[in-house]
Amino acid sequence: MATETLTLGKALNTGLRRALENDPKVVIMGEDVGKLGGVFRITDGLQKDFGDQRVIDTPLAESGIIGTAVGLAIRGFRPVCEIQFDGFVYPAYDQIVSQVAKMHYRSQGKVRIPMVIRIPFGGGIGAVEHHSESPEAYFAHTAGLKVVSCANPQDAYVMIQQAIASDDPVVFLEPKRRYWEKGPVDLDAPIADAYPLHSARVARPGTDATVLAYGPMVRTALDAATAAAEDGRELEVIDLRTISPLDLTAAYESVRRTGRCVVVHEAPGNLGLGSEIAARITEECFYSLESPVLRVTGFDTPYPAARVEEEYLPDLDRVLDAVDRTFGW
């Protein structure tokens, strides 16, 4: 098998290239995705190889990008829209929740919207305001949208192709601070035989406590598990991968064994995904829990200035502190 070591960003680029090669109806559109190759260079070289009719530089108008993509999807194309930064998605929010999410239901199943909305999300890159947000809960709350997030290069390569092949609209969240992290990628992996798009995976097995994370926080959780192992505590880390629909089967099985659970995400804690996950874990695993399900999240404030963002973001110490608290009950 052709296995290469790629950054997460390059794996996304390679997955997009494969999708363009395999289906002439796939088009990529967004601000600076063509000649520049995107601000993070995720679409680098694609316009040169596939032309400006398939990799399209759009005006700076997110609502227009998504609205145009809806029309393309109705006519049989598979548009892949790039929102340049997470905080730029809000002008397109009306289109996403009112049109993209509702069209299939409104048409009684006659119309499908096979489109992908790529959003680099999360902090950790020292960016300015509106460039480091975590808006996943807005979209996960909206029926009709599927929301996923990759955490490593292999998943980036596979999941972007799976999302493009889906007949449903997918909000594809990319952990921007992990774009440059490297890992092995099996370029020959049959997409259909890989993990299904909407399924979780055990990223590290363990016996003493369960840590649930997605996107950029999976690496943080794995680092915490490595540190905990030095003190003789084995943490099981589960990469949720899919935010909506949530796949918690592996989490239930894990918590029934470990009796303890910590949920980690960058977004603020109030009404975040951690709240829903904690509620479901408690409902399904109540008699197995040795302590309450705890959350480690961002704070309930606007994302801070870059010089203090490390104080805001969940880190290894905060995760380990929560794990310690589960053993203190």
pLDDT of residue 111: 96
Tell me, yes or no, whether 117 and 249 share the same domain: no
CA distances from 124 to 137, 213, 217 (A): 19, 16, 11
- The residue from 193, 220, 238 where one domain ends is 193
Stretch 311-316: mean pLDDT, rounded? Answer: 96
Helices (H), 40-152: 46-50, 62-74, 93-95, 103-106, 136-140
pLDDT of residue 190: 82
State what percent of residues in the chain have pLDDT above 90.
96
Q: In the predicted model, what is the mean pLDDT of the chain?
A: 96
Q: How confident is the model at residue 2 (pLDDT cuts 50, 70, 90)?
A: confident
Tell me, yes or no, whether 258 and 319 share the same domain: yes
Tell me, yes or no, whether 213 and 169 share the same domain: no
Tell me, yes or no, whether 106 and 73 share the same domain: yes
Q: Produce one character per residue of 151-171: b if its CB has 16 or more CB atoms within 10 Å, e if not.
A: bbbbbbbbbbbbbbbbebbbb
Q: Give the global pTM.
A: 0.96
Neighbours of 128 (CB within 10 A): 10
Q: What's the pLDDT tens digit per position in 18-64?
A: 999 999 999 999 999 999 999 999 999 999 999 999 999 999 999 99
Tokens read off for 65 = 């990008």
Residue located via tokens 């975590």: 134
Q: Produce one character per residue of 283-318: b if its CB has 16 or more CB atoms within 10 Å, e if not.
A: eebeeebeeebbbbbbeeeebbebeebeebbbbbeb
Cα separation, 4 vs 36, in Å, equals 25
Domain that holds residue 134: 3-193
- The residue from 193, 225, 247 where one domain ends is 193
CATH of residue 253 = 3.40.50.920
- The residue from 193, 216, 245 where one domain ends is 193
pLDDT of residue 197: 92
**Residue 1 pLDDT more than 60?**
no
pLDDT of residue 195: 80
CA distances from 117 to 51, 82, 83, 197, 199 (A): 21, 6, 7, 15, 19
pLDDT of residue 192: 74
Tell me, yes or no, whether 76 and 216 share the same domain: no
Largest CA distance in the chain: 60
Tell me, yes or no, whether 173 and 322 share the same domain: no
Tell me, yes or no, whether 40 and 137 share the same domain: yes
Tell me, yes or no, whether 158 and 221 share the same domain: no
State what percent of residues in the chain have pLDDT above 70.
99
Instruction: Look at the chain and report how many structural domains it folds into.
Output: 2
Q: What's the pLDDT tens digit per position in 68-110?
A: 999 999 999 999 999 999 999 999 999 999 999 999 999 999 9
Tell me, yes or no, whether 158 and 286 share the same domain: no
Active site positions, annotated: 131
Q: What's the pLDDT tens digit per position in 161-177?
A: 999 999 999 999 999 99
Q: What's the pLDDT tens digit per position in 249-276?
A: 999 999 999 999 999 999 999 999 999 9
Tokens read off for 167 = 């007949």
Tokens read off for 255 = 């918590």
Tell me, yes or no, whether 217 and 301 share the same domain: yes
Residues written for the chain: 329
Tell me, yes or no, whether 83 and 211 share the same domain: no
Tell me, yes or no, whether 50 and 110 share the same domain: yes
pLDDT of residue 189: 81
